[in-house]
Structure 1
Amino acid sequence: MNENRQDFNALVDMAMANPGLSAMRPVVEKELLHYEIFQALDAEGLLKGLVFQGGTSLRLCRGSDRFSEDLDFAGGKDFSAESMQKIAACMEKRIGQRFGLLVAVHHKQAQGAEDGIKHIRVNKWWISIETTPENPAMPRQKIKQEVASIPAHTRELVPLRANYDLLSAMPTVLVNAESLDEIMADKVLAFPTSLLDHQDQPVGLDSSKIRHRDIWDLAQMTRFVDSATVAKTLAADGYADYLASSVAGLFIQMQTALGTKP
């Protein structure tokens, strides 16, 4: 085991000193690697054209207490395969050299978005990082990064929050992040699609397709988003019409659970 590898173990051990994280080592490893990814992209100047989206942006930029695994970005309409290759090369170089870990980047060619909006092209790739090579029983950590070849409608320059005391000495990374209003709008639209299968039939309540995390994130955001925005989204009767009869009942339950029902 080389010295760099020991450094990563030590970093995780320091974070795990928090008693509340005792059973969450794989999650903590992944989040610490998120910070390393952002440090690497920032050092190479590759963050400038990206806008950070989704639940992980709420965790790292807005103070959400929900751990999130994926890194989602809007890359703009000019984002290309060449841009993606630069990011992939940066990941392999910086993460591998920083900790002596085996990093593999897997790329999936652009295709229609999974939400069925076929005119949106989404480039996808994910990163596999072998954090525990000495323990074959432990799976590789897989960090999925997605870049949508579309522009974000909003962007705010915000610092990454240091969710662990040990990160306080790291240089502050400023990230272009979507506004809370836009993230809320994205999730308000995305959640209903997770309630239907590919034949537009309701899925079972135990289906893994349902984006339960969106309900959690929406509840978190109602603490920060102004009441006018909530009134135009979750509290709007028209949104129930959008959900249609098959899922309207669940929408009413969601309104009630989030405290947005008039």
Structure 2
Amino acid sequence: MGVRSFDEGRIKSAEIIQLITLYNLFSRKEGKNIIFQGGTALRWFHGNERFSEDLDFVTSLDMAQLPTLLNSLAVSIEAGIKAQFGPGTFTLRHKDRGREGSLTAFVEFSSERQRGKTTIKLEFEKLKAGASPGQEQVILSSAPAVSYFIRTGQVMLPPGRVINVETVAEIFSDKIRALLERRYLKGRDLYDIWFMTETLRIAPDIGLAKRKLEMYDHPFTLARKPECFPELAKHPEGDEAAKAREEIDRDLSRFIHEGVMNVLRKDGFQPIFAATGDTFQKLLKDGLDLTGYQAINDGRGTES
């Protein structure tokens, strides 16, 4: 099976289901202990053009509470989706991610009016006791991207729902951790760093970056050294940069309109490499030291 390309119809359906799910999740009292983060938070609340398929959250709740909470939301989420799309088959399922302090859930819907199934993924990470990332309380319907969907009749949401959303600086530090920790480099993380530095004018904060490495129950493990990102920017013709360009193209082509992708391809994604390289160069200059963190030993030479 080939890599999926940007599919505007599929994306619109998924985004509508995201908004319905967000609205219902934060309708419960448990919502005060849940914080929305990640690429989809950038999309809805900070103007990122990149589609994101996941709803990412951090929480101080006991992870054992989440299945019960999600099951209790199924009826209202299903009703909201069917009010939007008409009759169809709905499921909400969840599973342990196989590591302590995390849970994944899936909301799936197959409409009788159109072919195919729309799926969104929810991911929850447990915060360490006493840890709390910077956050803002935002009225869902007042966010410009959400308001546009409501005004144009693409989604029906009652007003007044308040969402806990990580600050941009916190999302930025999450992306830094993700780039260091993911086994496989994802173009979406690199793109989001570029978007936040160039559009939102966010600068790396060594204090936030260090704090983020210690914020979750699941311990941070090092998949790649921070020095690799300045090296990619300095040597755009090298083999590693070529591999990274392939990964960026393969990953982002599912999440960004073809016209935007063509503009990014024109420069070989160099502005993205430069923004990421500058970010890690500043962190290293400010004293980022990952000595003592366990490294993933998968034969790629990432151990230090």
- TM-score interval, smaller chain: 0.5 to 0.7
Correspondence 1:157 to 2:137: yes
Which blocks of at least 5 consecutive residues in structure 1 are unaligned? 1-21, 113-119, 197-208, 234-240
Q: State the SS of the aligned residue for 1:65.
A: coil
Correspondence 1:61 to 2:61: no
Q: Distance in 1 between matches of 2:148 and 2:201?
A: 28
How many angstroms does 1:73 deviate by?
1.1
Share of identical aligned residues, percent? 22
One-letter amino acid of the structure 1 residue matched with residue 109 of structure 2: I
Q: Distance in 2 between matches of 1:156 and 1:110?
A: 28
How many angstroms does 1:67 deviate by?
1.2
Partner residue of 1:5? none
Correspondence 1:109 to 2:96: yes
Partner residue of 1:224? 200
Conserved in 2, the CA contact under 8 Å of 1:59 and 1:66? yes
Q: Distance in 2 between matches of 1:156 and 1:48?
A: 12
Conserved in 1, the CA contact under 8 Å of 2:37 and 2:166? yes
Q: Distance in 1 between matches of 2:273 and 2:207?
A: 11
Conserved in 1, the CA contact under 8 Å of 2:179 and 2:185? yes
Residues 1-262 of structure 1 aligned to structure 2 (within 5 Å): 24-45=8-29, 47-79=31-63, 80=65, 81-96=67-82, 99-109=86-96, 111-112=98-99, 120-131=100-111, 133-135=112-114, 138-150=115-127, 152-160=132-140, 161-163=143-145, 165-168=148-151, 170=157, 171-194=159-182, 196=183, 209-222=184-197, 223-227=199-203, 229=205, 243-244=224-225, 247-248=228-229, 249-250=231-232, 256-258=274-276, 260=278
Q: Distance in 1 between matches of 2:88 and 2:12?
A: 16
How many angstroms does 1:175 deviate by?
0.8
Q: Distance in 1 between matches of 2:134 and 2:160?
A: 22
Distance change in 2, residues 1:44/1:102 (3 Å): farther
Q: Distance in 2 between matches of 1:219 and 1:102?
A: 39
**TM-score of the superposition, structure 1-length normalised?**
0.66
Partner residue of 1:237? none
How many angstroms does 1:148 deviate by?
1.9
One-letter amino acid of the structure 1 residue matched with residue 118 of structure 2: Q
Q: Distance in 1 between matches of 2:91 and 2:121?
A: 11
Q: Distance in 2 between matches of 1:65 and 1:96?
A: 27
Distance change in 2, residues 1:250/1:173 (3 Å): farther
Conserved in 1, the CA contact under 8 Å of 2:32 and 2:164? yes
Q: Distance in 2 between matches of 1:178 and 1:134?
A: 36
One-letter amino acid of the structure 2 residue matched with residue 221 of structure 1: M
How many angstroms does 1:43 deviate by?
4.2
- What are the Cα deviations for residues 118-167 of structure 1, in whole angstroms up to 9, with x where unaligned? xx411111011113x344xx420011112223264222112332426351
Q: State the SS of the aligned residue for 2:191.
A: helix
Distance change in 2, residues 1:92/1:244 (3 Å): same
Distance change in 2, residues 1:245/1:178 (3 Å): closer
How many residue pairs are counted as aligned between the two chains?
211
Distance change in 2, residues 1:54/1:215 (3 Å): same
- What are the Cα deviations for residues 210-248 of structure 1, in whole angstroms up to 9, with x where unaligned? 311011111111133544638986xxxxxxx99438945
Q: Distance in 1 between matches of 2:124 and 2:77?
A: 15
